[in-house]
Amino acid sequence: MSSSLSSVPGVAAIHGNTTFSFVKPDAFDKKDQIVADLNACGITVLLGKETTFTVELAKEFYKEHEGKPFYASLVTYITSGPVYVMVLHVKDAVAKVREVIGATDPKKANPNTIRGKYGQEMSRNAIHGSDSDASAEREISLLFSKDELSKV
């Protein structure tokens, strides 16, 4: 896997306008509707694939939460079923995608956002969106191979 997207052809040119997101296990059966919602807001899926987090990958992905009370249940949950991982493209990608996704707590999310429509509760909130360009780069490199990224 790539440790730096800046070395991947095609990706460096769209950095800042690219981010990472994935449909979580609780909303996996709604992935087509979620992708349609993203597209309707002008967000393009550059790469997308179905996968399942291994325990090792989940621990690496959520390593900043290690030691927190919810960490073990988060790892168990995220490995409980398939997910749909995506590299997304839109101007000011992180901010735009997070706006379309909505508040982390679906009960507080605008009903027109993805979490407002498909989220159940804080721990089952349908979708993840990177919180910064640096996080997006790290998360993309964990879920997509250099070969996959070179096709962007």
- The answer to whether residue 89 is catalytic is no
Specify the amino acid at residue 58: A
Q: What angle do CA 44, 48, 49 make, to 5 degrees?
A: 165
**Would you mind telling me the total number of residues written for the chain in this entry?**
152
Of the listed 15, 65, 89, 128, which one is catalytic? 128
Helix (H) or strand (E) holding 128, with range, is strand 127-129
3-state DSSP assignment of residue 45: strand
Instruction: Report the candidate in 102, 93, 103 with the shortest Cα–Cα distance to residue 130.
Output: 93
CA dihedral 122, 125, 127, 133 (to 10 degrees): -20
Instruction: Report the candidate in 90, 77, 80 with the shortest Cα–Cα distance to residue 129.
Output: 90
Catalytic site residues?
128
